């Protein structure tokens, strides 16, 4: 049985952070009502190529499975009335509009709470509902820079770089789903809902964990170290004969095993512990590249596994999806004919489901409205452009 069966989510999110949050809830069995602007829908539907046969972008497909799409113009009185009726049957309200926008249109937390007193209402914005930036729009790239994340990414003498994926949006979506599930648990004990204020900036600073903590501890900027690790050496992607091999030496014992395997015990006397190696990072990395350049990637992976030193290739996505471990874990799933990346939530008794493909714009409008209205009323709303 799905963990969130019979839980309904009124989903007023677009782009990535919000839709990813509600997709997680949908994977766990919640009924997600994705509210979209008639004729337009989620802007990411057009963010391509690539597109599927229904002209939906990969971007949109990545975070909108297990949902039902309802087109609704909530800025019109008839649309707002329908929204209020659906909210009465919902447990969770998730939105990522600019701060204050929904309040202006009768769908802020206080208005929704009057309709559904035990509602769990989650707002996702760039900077949260308080502070001097609360009114500003917030975007992933902008927040990666503002948070300090980009100062950590790149080669030591190179330019700062954004992460290759929208990590601020993604982390906020995941944290938001966690907050919502926590609020659901709290409601099961108290009978009361609550308001959840989520911020891309807050989430990104939290995501940086040991980097943020390092700064708070000593007030120093952690260095950019490319593929290396700011606190562990040697730990990186090193040059082999035919590519790059990741060798992640995380303990003194692993360093000793490596040095003995490559007949370089002199390194043990020169770089006696990790602290010394961190202070002499460039020298150690230079020696590592000299050693690894003598053999192939496959050679290093095979022999590092035998001696208990973590290692691996630098795969393309094609190679990653063909990896036997990825295949064995069922990481590629199908949702009504649409290939999708599986949820990583490995629940034994209530596993994620893949029951609905990412919906076409307005695909479930009539299905949802039939709960409230007759066919004649639905057609009247269509004629007015409300749905």
Q: Which long-range contacts (CB under 8 A, 24 or more apart) does 141-150 make?
A: 141/166, 143/168, 143/200, 143/201, 143/204, 144/168, 144/204, 146/201, 147/201, 147/204, 147/205, 147/208, 148/205, 148/208, 148/211, 148/212, 148/215, 149/204, 149/207, 149/208
What Å distances lie between residue 189 and 28, 175, 185, 186, 253, CA to CA? 20, 22, 7, 5, 48
Sort strands 8-12 and 31-36 into parallel, antiparallel or unpaired: parallel
266: annotated active-site residue = no
Q: Quick one: 124 exposed, middle or buried, by C-beta within 10 A (0-12, 13-18, 19+)? A: buried
Strand order in the sheet with 92-95: 68-71, 31-36, 8-12, 92-95, 120-125, 194-199
DSSP 309: -
- From the candidates 31, 73, 91, 169, give the one annotated as an active-site residue: 169
Q: In this structure, what token pair is assigned to residue 377?
A: 């009323």
Distance CA(352)–CA(335), nearest Å, equals: 12
Q: In this structure, what token pair is assigned to residue 14?
A: 């677009």
DSSP 39: T
Residues 6+ apart with CB under 8 A from 255: 234, 249, 268, 271, 274, 277
Distance CA(15)–CA(42), nearest Å, equals: 7
Distance CA(103)–CA(110), nearest Å, equals: 8
Q: Is 66 left (phi over 0), alpha (psi -120 to 50) or beta?
A: left
Distance CA(70)–CA(360), nearest Å, equals: 10
Catalytic residue numbers, as ranges: 169
């Amino acid at each position: 049985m799905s963990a969130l069966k019979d839980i309904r989510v009124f989903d007023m999110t677009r782009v990535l952070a919000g839709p990813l949050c509600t997709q997680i809830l949908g994977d766990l069995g919640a009924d997600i009502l994705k509210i979209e602007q008639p004729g337009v829908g989620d802007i990411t539907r057009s963010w391509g190529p690539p597109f599927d046969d229904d002209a939906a972008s990969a971007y949109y497909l990545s975070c909108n499975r297990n949902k039902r799409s309802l087109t609704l113009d909530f800025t019109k009185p008839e649309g707002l009335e329908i929204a209020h009726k659906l909210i009465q049957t919902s447990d969770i309200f998730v939105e990522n509009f600019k701060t204050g926008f929904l309040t202006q249109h009768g769908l802020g937390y206080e208005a929704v709470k009057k309709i559904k007193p035990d509602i769990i209402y989650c707002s996702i914005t760039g900077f949260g509902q308080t502070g001097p930036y609360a009114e500003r729009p917030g975007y992933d790239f902008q927040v990666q820079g503002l948070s300090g994340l980009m100062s950590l990414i790149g080669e030591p003498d190179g330019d700062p770089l954004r992460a290759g994926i929208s990590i601020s949006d993604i982390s906020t979506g995941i944290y938001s789903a966690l907050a919502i599930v926590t609020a659901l648990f709290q409601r099961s004990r108290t009978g009361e809902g609550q308001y959840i204020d989520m911020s891309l900036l807050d989430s990104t600073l939290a995501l940086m964990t040991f980097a943020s903590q390092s700064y708070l501890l000593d007030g120093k900027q952690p260095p950019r170290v490319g593929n290396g690790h700011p606190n562990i050496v040697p730990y990186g992607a090193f040059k082999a004969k035919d590519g790059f091999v990741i060798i992640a030496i995380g303990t003194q014992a692993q360093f000793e095993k490596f040095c003995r395997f490559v007949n370089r015990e002199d390194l043990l006397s020169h770089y006696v512990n990790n602290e010394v190696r961190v202070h002499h990072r460039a020298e150690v990395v230079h020696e590592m590249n000299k050693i690894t350049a003598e053999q192939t990637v496959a050679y290093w992976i095979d022999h590092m596994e035998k001696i208990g030193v973590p290692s691996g290739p630098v795969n393309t996505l094609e190679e990653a999806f063909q990896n036997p471990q990825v295949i064995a874990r069922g990481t590629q799933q199908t949702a009504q004919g649409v290939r999708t990346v599986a949820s990583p939530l490995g629940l034994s008794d209530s596993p994620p489901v893949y029951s609905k493909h990412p919906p076409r714009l307005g695909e479930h409008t009539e299905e949802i409205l039939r709960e409230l209205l007759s066919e004649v009323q639905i057609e009247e709303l269509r004629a007015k452009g409300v749905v």
